Structure 1
């Protein structure tokens, strides 16, 4: 079969003008343990810590492994489950939040290590009235160590989609 130059040009133009959805990439499903670099056991991230008797709170000690990030996730298009800790909340819904591995993280207990926290910005507000229910978040993840008044955060993600997590 011989392709003419005209056929090749027309086919190329047709492919380039297709809607981007036809080229959509499938998100890689990621679990919380995937955020820790391979070879670093979770037990080496959190030390014994100490008890704050006055506030009846355990204060964990994190070592340098707490800020080690999984290099394979930098720029990856992922989908992962977690819980929301709203940061920007309007009448339309949540537009930015910390995604945490378990309900109540950062609120009632000391925060998880940096490599177990994801700062999420949503393109569309999440208007659910079930803030304490788990969600699936899909989007592009980046390494972005940030220190905030709430916690040190290891990752950021721009959410294309947020949906209720169902198991």
Structure 2
């Protein structure tokens, strides 16, 4: 009887363990605490600068350099995570995707300047994934690495080894 109870308790715990294998993180967790790229630009009054002003151009170059070199969160190295985002395909095999960027908001890198490197994840899958279009919303599960990638769409601060990608569905409210 004890053996049967032990087996039943293990079977009940399995779905909980599977869910915990990829704890959900928020995009803010990818940014190290205390990182504030705006502090270097606070002295400028952008309201009084025209786009062609050399000080505005210099500030934009400085901001781009800060964002391209945005620090990553060391505590996330090697962690299994799950997070939502938008897809920007990089590598395809036929109609299937093997590499893509995951970004936190619609239009990032495509219709606007790229976000900081610590807000772009380079996703790599060992096997081709199903059809994915630019800006498809997905849930991505995998293992994070602190590896930078220079892509045509922006500099990624993280790399994730893809274990699972599913279409995004909003969490059910409790």
- TM-score when scaled to structure 2? 0.67
Hey, what does 1:74 align to over in structure 2?
77
Hey, what does 1:98 align to over in structure 2?
101
Aligned length, in residue pairs = 140
The CA deviation string for residues 31-77 of structure 1, in whole angstroms up to 9 with x for no partner, is 11111012325755987888867xxxxx5714647521111111111
Structure 1 stretches of 4+ moved >4 Å? 41-53, 62-66
Taking the aligned partners of 1:76 and 1:84, their CA distance within structure 2 comes to 21
Written as runs of structure 1 = structure 2, the 5 A alignment for 1:15-30 is 26-30=21-25
Distance verdict in 2 for CA 1:76–1:153, change over 3 Å: same
Give unpaired runs (5+ residues) of structure 2: 1-16, 53-59
Secondary structure (helix, strand or coil) at the match of 2:108 reads: coil
Taking the aligned partners of 1:115 and 1:164, their CA distance within structure 2 comes to 23
Bigger strand share: 1
- TM-score when scaled to structure 1? 0.69
The CA deviation string for residues 131-154 of structure 1, in whole angstroms up to 9 with x for no partner, is 433101100100012333432210
Distance verdict in 2 for CA 1:114–1:104, change over 3 Å: same
Secondary structure (helix, strand or coil) at the match of 2:75 reads: helix
Bigger helix share: 2
Taking the aligned partners of 1:149 and 1:64, their CA distance within structure 2 comes to 18
Superposed displacement of residue 26, structure 1: 1.0
